[in-house]
Chains A and B, each alone.
Chain A
Amino acid sequence: MAEVEETLKRIQTQKGVQGIIIVNSEGIPVKTTLDNASTVQYAGLIHQLVMKARSTVRDIDPQNDLTFLRIRSKKNEIMIAPDKDYFLIVIQNPSD
């Protein structure tokens, strides 16, 4: 528990990070630093996107797998690191 917290803190202290969400494989948020509404929204939407992206990558080459997904938008950047059971969503405001 403490380790998890410490890791999150390390990420949080990076410049421009707005929020972190840890989501399990079903899309239910496990840990978050944002408010509930945003968390739930992000989790639901991004979960679907990650599934889609992963299946895309696997379809093209079954030996391959998704390691990282970055969505760059006008206002911020969403980074998703998927894993076997969970995935981590980080929202950062780039230093522009």
Chain B
Amino acid sequence: MPPNKSKSVTSSAGSKKKGKKTESPAQGEKLGHPDDILPMVLTSATQELFGCRADEDVTGESPYKLLKKDDIIQDLKTRAAVSDFSPAKQIVLDYPEDELLLVFDRDFTYDQLFYLVLTPEAKDRILNPPQPETPEVCENEVNNKSGRSEPKPWISLGSEQEIDEESFKESREKLWYKFSRVRRKFGAPVCFSDRNTYMECVPFHDSRFRIKQMQRDCGMQAVPRMQSSSSQTQWKFKRNIFTQYTPRELSDGDKENIHQCENLKHFCNSVTPRVLQALQQEEIMNVFFDDWKALGTGDDADWSGKIFEGLMLYQAFTDQKYTKDKKISSINWHPTIYGVLAVALTEKKTEEVMDESSAFEVRESHIVFYSFSDPSNPQLLLECPDDIFAFEFCPSDPNIIVGGCVNGQVVLWDISAHVIHLQGTKPGKNASLNTDTFDLDDNKENKTPVVRYCAVSALESSHKAPITDVQWLPPTFEVTKLGLPVENKNNVSVQVVTCSPDCALMFWDVRVTKLLSQSGSDRKQNADQKTSYGVPETFKHLDRTWKPLFKVSLPKIDTGGEYAPLKFSLELYSCNANNTGRTKEEANENDDGSKVVPDYSQLRVPSAKTLATLEDVNTRLYIGTEDGEIIYTDWKLVKDDSGRQQSAKPLHCFRTHHWLVNTVQRSPFYKDIILTMGSWNFAIWKEGVMEGPIVTSPSSEQVCTAGCWSPSRPAVFFIGKDDGSIEVWNLLEKTGEPLQVHAHITDAKITCIKPWTASSKQHFLAVTDDLGMVRVLEIPKTLYAPSRSENLSVNKYFKLEEDRLKDFMKRDELWAKQKKEAEELKKKMDPVKPVKSLTENDEENMKEYNVHLEVEESVLKGLGLWTAPADTEDT
């Protein structure tokens, strides 16, 4: 408390005033003494009265004297104005306490000898603390130096509380200990001993260390993990194994020795019975033969539910716009694109009109492409100069199509520009496709692209009658002007064979001939322009100037005149690398290279001399004619008597069919088996067998109009009939009648059948009819999956048939011979046998007849069946 007071006093002591008295600051400074003390002069009487005689009661060392207030008041009353206390009268009266302080001021600090302290605070102040005096003195001195910055009075805002709280105060007095040791113990020896219990500092959980380190800097080094270790294996089972590089053989001498050895003899004797028994067992029966398995038909027999035996309709294609009133003359599947087929539409005409070549209206003829994805709209149209009766895709390049017209011309198309269209989506949906072709009528929907033909053969050198069959020569060989087969360096099909009832077969080459290539510069100029129809100029060199390589005529064997071929079939020759003198690797390379289809417009006819002749190409063809004959002839031109090149006479000709032959097709499995179909029956021929067909079918009721082999089963083929039914024949099961008859496939005459293998599980049969409809039937598994060893069986069957035929022929000859001999014999025996007259003959006959009647009567009577004869022997 005293320090508090002192501080408060010291802070305000700067001006020697009390906070309560406001007027005091100004007064204090002017008066020169604080206003709470009043310098007084006390007379000696007063001094004696109050007991404060100078230098006796109060001295310099104890200058304070407390005077009672009552005393002062009494003094004032007694001496009123004379009292020394009169100037302080009011103050004394107001003085709250009882005692006032009188201070003996020996030094005359306040100009008088005594001063009276007017307030109790000052009294306390003066009496008690020693400190305030010095600051007062200092501050007096400071006060005296005026003119400097005046220290502002500090206003307490309560901060002293905080300071008090924060400050460090001793709560108690400092303790003071003094330790000392007894002097006598200094330097005395010490003895240390163990304590019983050991001291330990128990670890305690210091809460300061509970802080979790959330983040830590830590250094990493990537070290490749590699460890090399070794182990020792135990060679538990000790066995020496060795390998042999060269076989050990006995020398001859050793062998001889052994052979002489008795041991060997014994061995052989003992072993032989066993071996013989085993061998014989093997011979008798194969014990490992799985009978159960052998019963099965195929290895992947599909037993999932229904197995449909017949041909199912997969899709039907027709197009109102183009197929109206037309019949389909030919159909072909696209060889590479799935689900695309092309049909050639022709006008329905009677045959008489067909022959006349006059009075034609200009009609649009088309080959229409259909795709599985869009059955009712054609994908592509090929514009034809006239009705097409036969067309074929080129086997090396499916974009080239050759067709034979009704007027005898050969037509070529190149659809490479539109192939993407065929492979892609439905027509018309991609409007962008149409931007390339120059379309004036801008139908965005259903605009089928039309491709114009690239080239047409020269009219005067074409056939004079409609071309009924067109085929490409296989890419393995080509033919010279004389009909000699030579090697084909391009490995693509470049030649076409056509036939027509004008009794000729023509060979055409689609390449640029040498004559034309001389005018190369002209060609180049031409090649740059495109025709106005946007037709690719692949075959520009042929257009209208195309002439056949050579022509094969078919003179009749025994009579004059010629045959009129309708269909033909040639043997597809597969390339034999040895013949051409190329190495096998080269051939393989070429095969790979030939996959890249060469540009047909760049192909040139090579000089015939540079190409090697292929000797083993079968140059003979089977031809079916208008009259139902099947001719086997060679196309090579031979020199006849007059030295000119002439076609050879056919090797044989048989009139198996009675009417038009509509199919001559080689079996896809056997090179030498040909199926021919025409009129009311079909026949199977084997090439090389000159006696006739090895199999002929019985005549059926309807006309067979189309036929084809199955591509997957050697024994199965399909026949289309006049009444719209399809017969399925299986040579292994029934030879006299069809295996299945599917009636009413169409309502009209079936004009074409073509099979196709889309995938291993999908086999289709395309059937076209007279009404312009194409139906695609799906061949069921039973009909396309070959049975066990069907190939072998069919082979055997054909062989059998061939043998039978040959046998029959032999017997026929034999019988003929026998008959002849018998006749001759008879003649010899009766050299002069009068020729009986007719009546004699009749009598003889009657006699014989009567004899016979009697015999008959007796027999029937014996059997009990004799009925009385009527007058007229009419049974």
Starting from the known contacts A31-B255, A90-B275, 15 additional A-B residue pairs (CB-CB under 8 Å) come to: A1-B259, A1-B260, A11-B276, A15-B283, A16-B282, A17-B279, A22-B267, A29-B249, A67-B274, A68-B274, A79-B278, A83-B267, A85-B263, A90-B279, A95-B286
Q: Would A10 and B272 be within 8 Å (CB), given that A4-B265, A85-B263 are in contact?
A: yes
Contact of B268 among A7, A14, A17, A24 (CB under 8 A): A7
Contact (Cβ within 8 A) A11 B272: yes
Residue on B nearest A81 in the bound complex, by CB = B271
Q: Is B248 interfacial (CB-CB < 8 Å)? A: yes
Q: Do residues B274 and A24 form an inter-chain contact, with CB atoms below 8 A?
A: no
CA distance A70 to B277 in the complex (A): 12
Tell me if B275 and A4 are in contact (CB < 8 A): no
Residue of B nearest to A17 (CB): B279
Q: Using Cβ atoms and an 8 Å threshold, which residues of chain A touch B258?
A: 24, 30
Check if B312 is an interface residue, CB within 8 A of chain A. no
Given known contacts A4-B259, A24-B258, is B278 in contact with A96 (CB within 8 Å)?
Answer: no
Which residue on chain B has the smallest CB distance to residue A82? B271
* B249 / chain A contacts, CB cutoff of 8 Å: 28-29, 40
Residue-wise interface mask of B (282-296) relative to A, using a CB-CB cutoff of 8 A (1 in contact, 0 not): 110010110000000
Chain B stretch 515-551: residues in CB contact (< 8 A) with chain A? none
Measured in the bound complex, the distance between the Cα atoms of B628 and A13 in whole Å is 56
A4 touches B268 (CB 8 A): yes
B274 CB contacts on chain A under 8 angstroms? 67-68, 81
Contacts of B244 in A (CB 8 A): 44
For A70-96 the 0/1 string (1 means CB < 8 A from B) is 101000010101011110101010111
B232 at the interface (CB under 8 A from A): no
B264 contacts the other chain (CB 8 A): yes
CA A17 to CA B272, docked complex, whole Å: 14
A61 within 8 A of B: no
Residue A3, interface by CB 8 Å:
yes
Cβ–Cβ contact B279 & A88, under 8 A: no
Query: Does the CB pair A96–B264 fall under 8 Å?
Result: no
CB of A59 within 8 A of chain B? Answer: no
Q: A81-B274, A85-B263, A90-B275 are in contact. Are A7 and B282 (CB under 8 A)?
A: no
Q: Does B247 contact A (CB under 8 A)?
A: yes
For this complex, 17 residue pairs linking A to B, each with C-beta atoms less than 8 Å apart, are A3-B268, A4-B264, A7-B272, A8-B268, A10-B276, A11-B275, A15-B283, A16-B282, A17-B279, A24-B258, A28-B247, A28-B250, A68-B274, A81-B274, A81-B275, A92-B279, A94-B286
| B-contact 0/1 string along A20-50, CB 8 Å cutoff | 0010101111110000000010011000000
Which residues 212-265 in B have Cβ within 8 Å of A in the complex? 244, 247-250, 255, 258-260, 263-265
Let me know if A31 and B270 touch, CB within 8 A: no
Chain B neighbourhood of A11, CB < 8 A: 272, 275-276, 279
> What DSSP secondary structure best describes chain B's contact surface?
helix
Whether the Cβ atoms of B282 and A92 lie closer than 8 Å is yes
B128 CB-CB contact with A under 8 Å = no
A3, B275: Cβ atoms closer than 8 Å: no
B264 touches A88 (CB 8 A): no
For the complex formed, measure the closest distance between the CB of B722 and the CB atoms of chain A, giving whole angstroms.
48
Q: In the complex, what residues of B have CB within 8 A of residue A22's CB?
A: 264, 267-268
Cβ distance B246 to chain A, nearest Cβ, rounded Å: 9
Q: Quick check: B271 and A83 within 8 Å, CB to CB?
A: yes
Query: What is the minimal beta-carbon distance from B191 to any residue of chain A, in angstroms?
Result: 87
Q: Which of A26, A77, A81 has the most CB of B within 10 A?
A: A81
A30 neighbours in B (Cβ, 8 Å): 250, 255, 258-259, 264
Among residues of B, the one whose C-beta sits closest to the C-beta of A86 is B267
Interface size on B, residues (CB 8 A): 29
Given the complex of chains A and B, what is the CA–CA distance between A95 and B284 in angstroms? 8
In the assembled complex, the Cα of A1 lies from the Cα of B263 at a distance in Å of 11
* CB of B280 within 8 Å of the partner chain: yes
Chain A contact residues, CB within 8 Å of chain B: 1, 3-4, 7-8, 10-11, 14-17, 22, 24, 26-31, 40, 43-44, 67-68, 70, 72, 77, 79, 81, 83-86, 88, 90, 92, 94-96
Q: Given the known A-B contacts A1-B259, A3-B265, are A70 and B275 also in contact in the complex, defined by CB atoms under 8 Å?
A: no
Query: Measured between alpha carbons, how far is A81 from B488 in the docked complex, in Å?
Result: 59
Q: How far is the CA of A85 from the CA of B271 in the complex (A)?
A: 12
**Which of B260, B276, B279 has the largest number of chain A CB atoms within 10 A?**
B279
List residues of B whose CB falls within 8 A of some A CB. 244, 247-250, 255, 258-260, 263-265, 267-272, 274-276, 278-280, 282-283, 286, 288-289
Q: Which residues on the B side are within 8 Å of A86 (C-beta)?
A: 263-264, 267
- Residues of B close to A68: CB separation below 8 A: 274, 278
Closest partner residue, chain A, to B287 (CB atom):
A72
Q: Whose C-beta in chain B lies nearest to the C-beta of A11?
A: B275
Collect the chain B residues with CB atoms within 8 Å of residue A70's CB. Answer: 278
> CA of A90 to CA of B247 in the docked complex: distance in angstroms?
20
Asked whether A14 lies within 8 Å of B279 as measured between CB atoms, the reply is: yes
A70 to B288, CA, bound (A): 13
Chain B residues within 8 Å of A43, by CB: 247
A-chain residues with CB within 8 Å of residue B269 when the two chains form the complex: 3, 7
Instruction: Give min CB distance, A67 to chain B, whole Å.
Output: 7
Q: Smallest CB-CB separation from A95: which chain B residue?
A: B283
The CA of A28 and the CA of B289, in the complex, are separated in Å by: 35
Q: How far is the CB of B584 from chain A (nearest CB, A)?
A: 25
Q: Nearest Cβ in chain A — how far from B288, in angstroms? A: 6
A8: which B residues are within 8 A, CB to CB?
268
Residues of A within 8 A of B289 (CB): 96
Q: How far is the CA of A95 from the CA of B287 in the complex (A)?
A: 11
Question: A94 contacts B282, CB within 8 Å?
Answer: yes
Nearest neighbor of B250 in chain A, beta-carbon distance: A28
- CB neighbours (8 Å) of B265 from chain A are 3-4
Given contacts A1-B259, A40-B249, A83-B270, contact A77 B275 (CB under 8 A): no
- Tell me the bound Cα distance from A70 to B279 in angstroms: 10
Across the A-B interface, give the 5 residue pairs with the lowest CB-CB distance, nearest first: A40-B247, A81-B271, A14-B279, A7-B268, A86-B267
Chain B nearest CB from A37 CB (Å) reads: 9
Find chain A residues with CB under 8 A from B264 CB. Answer: 4, 22, 30, 86
Closest to A24 in B: B258
Residue of B nearest to A15 (CB): B283
A38 to chain B, nearest CB (A): 11
- With both beta carbons as reference points, the residue of chain B lying nearest to A1 in the complex is identified as B259
Q: In the assembled complex, how far is the CB of residue A14 from the closest CB belonging to chain B, in whole angstroms? A: 4
Residues on the B chain within 8 Å of A72, using CB: 288
Interface contact A88-B250, CB-CB below 8 Å: no
Contacts of A81 in B (CB 8 A): 271, 274-275
A27 CA / B249 CA spacing, docked (Å): 9
Q: How far is the CA of A95 from the CA of B264 in the complex (A)?
A: 30
Answer whether A77 and B248 are a contact pair too, CB < 8 Å, given A3-B265, A14-B276, A67-B274.
no
Q: Hey, which chain B residues are within 8 Å of A77, CB to CB?
A: 282
Give the nearest-CB partner of B244 in chain A.
A44
Q: Cβ of B267: which chain A residues have Cβ within 8 Å of it? A: 22, 83-86, 88
Nearest Cβ on chain A to B616's Cβ, whole angstroms? 32
Q: Please tell me if the beta carbons of B286 and A96 are within 8 angstroms of each other in the complex.
A: yes
Q: Is the CB of A28 within 8 A of B272?
A: no
Q: Is the CB of A26 within 8 A of B268?
A: no
How close is B349's CB to chain A, nearest CB, in angstroms? 60
Complex interface: chain B residues within 8 A of A29 (CB): 249-250
Complexed CA–CA distance, A70 and B281 (Å) = 12
Residues A14 and B248 in contact, CB atoms below 8 Å apart: no
Cα distance A78–B339 in the bound complex, in angstroms: 52
Question: Which B residues are in CB contact (< 8 Å) with A28?
Answer: 247-250
In the bound complex, how far is the Cα of B258 from the Cα of A15, in angstroms? 29
Q: Are A14 and B260 in contact (CB under 8 A)?
A: no
What chain A residues lie within 8 Å of B247 (beta carbons)?
Answer: 28, 40, 43-44
Contacts of B250 in A (CB 8 A): 28-30
Q: A31 contacts B282, CB within 8 Å?
A: no
